[in-house]
Chains A and B, each alone.
Chain A
Amino acid sequence: MRIALAVLNNRIAPVFDTARNLVVVEDEDGKASQEISLAEETPVQRALYLAEIGVNVLICGAVSRSLYAMIQARGIAIHSFVSGDLADVLQAYRDGRLDTPDFAMPGCRGMRHRQTGGRPGGMPHACRKRRGWE
């Protein structure tokens, strides 16, 4: 299983759309990892690139809807709106505890909050439930 983590300064990069560094780990042997530079590119190109290099799982920070949909459409599982130090996040993923508030970005920790964001309808943020967007 090939896992890719978008990183910035040894933490999960805050925005995947503009992230420039990827750490790719082969889950079977665990230790082997490589750092890949991401080009400045459109969402379409980025989604295609991930599929091209055989990524099965992507762990990243905030990601825009359309990029999320395109990556998902290529059969890659995405854990988005994740934050934390690279090593901690990787370990949490392996232990199955990535979906906890400890590794959620600010604003995505499930705290009850009045409807904001100025969006029509004012729905609470989907990142709290870490679902895909229907």
Chain B
Amino acid sequence: MKKRPPATPTEAILESISDGVFTVDENWRVTSFNRAAEEITGIPRKEAIGQLCSEVFKSSMCGIACALRETLADGKPVIGRSGYIINGDGRRIPISVSTAVLKESSGQVVGGAETFRDMSEIDALRQELAGRHRVGELTSNSASMQRVFEILPAIASSPSTVLVRGETGTGKELISRTIHDLSPRRNGPFVAINCGALPDSLLESELFGYKAGAFTGAAKDKPGRFALAKGGTLLLDEIGDISPALQVRLLRVLQEKIYEPLGSTKPEAADARVIAATNKDLLQLVKEGTFREDLYYRVNVVQVELPPLRARKADIPLLVQQIVERFNRLHAKNLPGLTPEALSLLMAHDWPGNVRELENTVERAFVLCPQGSIDISHLPAEITSRQSEQSFGTTIQHAHNLTDSQTIMAALKRNNFNRLAAAKELGIHKTTLFRKIKKLGIELPEKDGRTR
């Protein structure tokens, strides 16, 4: 076998750096692909060389937004352009690219070079700091959330006030941010205020702001949340907790679109799209007389109902996976996830605190688990104590059944309800599949996907 010639200094450098580098010829075929490029994309050099760069790289910029195409056209290098690539698992990996033109000694352009950096860590930390979640990551397997997703674009594009209803920890703020990001106001500010956390007097000054000298301690003008949200979206969380006096003021702002900061008689224009959120039954509060009926109808123009986690248990495995990945980044660990037994217990729990409780539970387990998979021993008592209420066996069995039927249903859907294909995909014999379908009581539609 022919011995490989020793690496040139350039090759050695390219192999040692952590940024991916690849070069292409005039036909956009990959001519070189360094080690970091292999690692970030997950594609071995052998499979990349000679292929169209866009098919290897799979980036959000491939096509009209291609940085290299731009550079080859105008000769100007692109530095640090952001985008993402999609890896073989369908995960978006945020990257930053830079380009250069490749010329031979005569000055003739022979191709291009592109360098890219994996921005996952930085991106994740930045988002954690900002308290945001990527819009593209909002996903669910359950029908109840699909219904919410269906109406989001329409809600976002209209300027109407939205009321988001859901138990604590169901993601009311996340959905509100998503509505903002989908709306024409997406480039404007997103401002949130928790109306339940502040006493009335403070809430008033927070919402409307104040002028210098409005009260003792008001040294200078302070803009209220309405002002800060100008051109953007304002989330009024726990709106059911506002006092009747403040309800009147809020009603006026929503109707007239003007308000006065404390200590000022000059009205300011309110230019914020309002989203109200609550975990209470506002209509009930209206009946009890603690919430104004006219404010209720002003706020409840469009309603979004977020289902509790126990109504969308199919999403628990997916959510857990996302949470584990996030904590892996933050705690610089590399835990693969949960054992099937631990996951089954999570599936069996009712989650009164919904997604937030799930996040807390997984985070606590994370701290307790030094390495390897998170197991039952790492889960808190509230989850594991179900064992003492019912016999351990039936809880686990029930949870197993739930996960099984969801896995089977998903496989059937993917194969157009063709049982044979689904069984093949799941790696079980078709009679086993038929038996499981019968035992778990899975309902199948009329069509059976058999090829004619």
Contact = CB atoms under 8 A, between A and B. Distances in A.
B337 A127 contact: no
A125 B325 contact: no
Contacts of A75: 413
B139 A131 contact: no
Given A15-B86, A20-B64, A106-B51, A118 B40 contact: yes
B24 interface: no
Interface string B76-106: 0000000000111111100000000000000
Nearest to B54: A14
Interface stretch (A22-30, A43-51, A86-94): A43-51
B425 A131 contact: yes
Given A17-B60, A63-B86, A118-B118, A72 B152 contact: no
Q: Number of contact residues on B: which range applies?
A: 35 or more
Contact of A118 (B39, B65, B86, B146): B39
B447 to A, nearest CB: 11
A65 B60 CA distance: 14
B414 interface: yes
B407 interface: yes
A69 B152 CA distance: 17
B407 A45 contact: no
A65 B89 contact: yes
A2 interface: no
B368 interface: no
B414 to A, nearest CB: 5
Interface string A46-64: 0010000000000001111
Contacts of B411: 132
Contacts of A44: 138, 149, 152-153, 182
A91 B317 CA distance: 38
A86 to B, nearest CB: 14
Contacts of B136: 17, 42-43, 64, 66-67
Interface string A106-130: 1111010100111111011111100
B410 interface: yes
Contact of B139 (A63, A69, A125, A128): A69
Contacts of A83: 52, 55
A64 B88 contact: no
Given A8-B54, A64-B86, A65-B91, A116 B38 contact: yes
A4 interface: no
Given A69-B139, A111-B46, A132-B410, A77 B416 contact: yes
B42 A125 contact: yes
Nearest to B333: A120
A134 B407 contact: yes
Contacts of B46: 111
Nearest to B56: A106
Nearest to A65: B90
Residue of A66, A68, A123 most packed against chain B (CB within 10 A):
A66
Nearest to B141: A69
Interface in B335-383: 335-337
A120 B88 contact: no
B183 to A, nearest CB: 11
Given A15-B62, A72-B414, A106-B47, A62 B152 contact: no
B377 to A, nearest CB: 20
A65 B46 CA distance: 26
B336 A121 contact: yes
Given A14-B54, A42-B153, A120 B90 contact: no
Nearest to A51: B150
Contact of A107 (B43, B137, B153): B43
A59 B28 CA distance: 23
Contact of A70 (B42, B118, B139): B139
Query: Of A17, A19, A123, which is in contact with the most chain B CB atoms at under 10 Å from its CB?
Result: A17
Contacts of A134: 317, 407, 410
A123 B56 CA distance: 19
A14 B416 CA distance: 25
B47 A109 contact: yes
A126 B86 contact: no
A134 B43 CA distance: 22
A57 to B, nearest CB: 9
Nearest to A75: B413
Interface string B298-331: 0000000000000000000100000011001000
B32 interface: no
B63 A117 contact: no
Which 3 A-B pairs give the minimum distances between C-beta atoms? Answer: A125-B88, A107-B43, A66-B139
Given A65-B90, A65-B139, 16 more contacts: A15-B62, A15-B86, A44-B153, A48-B153, A61-B58, A62-B58, A65-B89, A67-B136, A72-B413, A106-B43, A107-B88, A117-B42, A117-B87, A120-B334, A123-B89, A127-B88
Interface of A: 8, 11, 13-15, 17-20, 42-45, 48, 61-70, 72-73, 75, 77, 80-81, 83, 105-109, 111, 113, 116-121, 123-128, 131-134
9 contacts: A8-B62, A18-B63, A64-B90, A68-B90, A83-B55, A106-B47, A118-B118, A119-B91, A128-B88
